[in-house]
């Protein structure tokens, strides 16, 4: 940073063929000088900007580099990325261990106790990122709100109920959830409707991008507790949906996932909207396949006329085809 501040143009001239600038948000003046460098040499992909505080990074990009960048959403590791690391043992890649530890790189790179890392992460996130967007007078209230969201993972968002439980207003809850979404802590799935405008106004479901953070917020102490924890199904569902989103983001595609629910309360966990057709996906944490798991996706196929092969993603180890449905192990995501 000191070299750049002393001679910005000379510094960039040294790296005229490209460079990676990590924590770029710490040097705000870099963006305006990069604008000149990019406009003077139109070769694409020379510079990569990364940062742990995305709001500051996005602010610098939007002010000086708008129209000159492609943004990549880098979520925590995917399971396939973990498997590619030869230093990670097979026992570490067991389902409960992955759900408990989560997939943030520091957990696997430095092997700290997950609870210690997540505690610091949550504290730093509140103090650094959230306060850049909203004024929080009581940190304890916001942290309680985070834990209340965790307890409602996989459920439709009830803003009024969350407001009453947290002790803030309905509009405050909406603002806080928007901040959690913008900072990639949580994501929402909207209900699928053929009428696209209805998808934008109906109540969404709430999920977490990382199962390890979710487990920490739920005060789960070790991976063994997941065997009988009442939130196991919701944790697994959130984990699987996030893996599907990672596939989209890593291919530079937008999230195209929804959920479906009819008037009788019958639900399908995920509807992947492919434009002219829709793929129904049911998610079950059970390690044992049962025929009843396919009831809702086969019903969807009959009433929707979809030609897509329904899928079930479950907690078992084997993938196979059953009754014209694809049963997929979580390991084959």
C-alpha 38/C-alpha 54 separation (Å) is 21
Across the range 264-278, mean pLDDT stands at: 88
Report how far Cα 204 is from the mean position of its chain's Cα atoms: 15
Cβ-Cβ contacts under 8 Å for 87 (sequence gap 6 or more): none
User: In which band, very low, low, confident or very high, does the pLDDT at 227 lie, cut at 50, 70 and 90?
Assistant: very high
Whether the Cβ atoms of residue 279 and residue 308 lie closer than 8 Å to each other = yes
Residue 91 has pLDDT above 90, yes or no: no
Q: What is the DSSP letter of 18?
A: -
Kindly write down the DSSP assignment for every residue of 151-220, as one continuous string: HTTTSB--HHHHHHHHTS-HHHHHHHHHHHHHTTSEEEEEEP-SSHHHHTTSPPEEEES-HHHHHHHTT-
C-alpha 133/C-alpha 275 separation (Å) is 35
First to last CA, the chain: 42
3-state secondary structure of 308: coil
Name beta bridge partners: 273: 278
Residue 136: which of 107, 94, 168 has the closest Cα? 168
pLDDT digits (tens, 9 = 90+) for 122-168: 888 777 777 767 777 778 888 899 999 999 999 999 999 999 999 99
Domains of the chain: 2-64 (no CATH), 79-234 (1.10.10.10), 258-332 (no CATH)
C-alpha 102/C-alpha 126 separation (Å) is 19
């Amino acid at each position: 940073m000191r070299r750049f501040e002393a001679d910005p143009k000379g510094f960039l001239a040294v790296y005229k063929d490209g460079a990676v600038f990590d924590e770029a948000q710490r040097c705000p003046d870099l963006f305006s000088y990069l604008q000149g460098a990019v406009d003077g040499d139109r070769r694409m992909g020379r510079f990569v900007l990364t940062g742990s505080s995305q709001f500051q990074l996005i602010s610098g990009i939007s002010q000086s580099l708008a129209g000159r960048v492609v943004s990549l959403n880098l979520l925590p590791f995917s399971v396939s990325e973990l498997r590619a690391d030869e230093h990670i043992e097979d026992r570490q890649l067991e389902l409960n261990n992955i759900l408990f530890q989560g997939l943030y790189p520091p957990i696997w790179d430095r092997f700290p106790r997950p609870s210690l890392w997540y505690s610091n992460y949550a504290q730093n996130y509140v103090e650094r990122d959230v306060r850049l967007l909203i004024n929080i007078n009581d940190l304890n209230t916001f942290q309680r709100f985070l834990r209340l969201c965790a307890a409602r993972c996989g459920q439709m968002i009830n803003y009024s109920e969350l407001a009453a439980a947290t002790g803030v207003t309905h509009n405050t809850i909406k603002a806080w959830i928007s901040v959690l979404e913008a900072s990639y802590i949580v994501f929402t799935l909207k209900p699928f409707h053929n009428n696209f405008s209805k998808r934008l106004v109906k109540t969404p479901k709430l999920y977490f991008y990382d199962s390890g953070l979710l487990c920490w917020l739920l005060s789960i102490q070790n991976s063994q507790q997941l065997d009988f924890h009442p939130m196991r199904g919701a944790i697994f569902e959130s984990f699987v949906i996030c893996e599907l989103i990672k596939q989209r983001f890593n291919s530079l595609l937008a999230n195209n996932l929804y959920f479906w629910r009819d008037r009788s309360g019958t639900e399908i966990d995920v509807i992947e909207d492919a434009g002219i057709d829709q793929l129904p996906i049911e998610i079950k944490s059970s390690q044992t396949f049962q025929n009843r798991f396919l009831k809702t996706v086969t019903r969807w196929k009959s009433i929707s006329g979809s030609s897509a092969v329904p899928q079930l993603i479950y907690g078992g180890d084997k993938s196979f085809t059953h009754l014209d449905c694809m049963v997929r192990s979580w390991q084959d995501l």
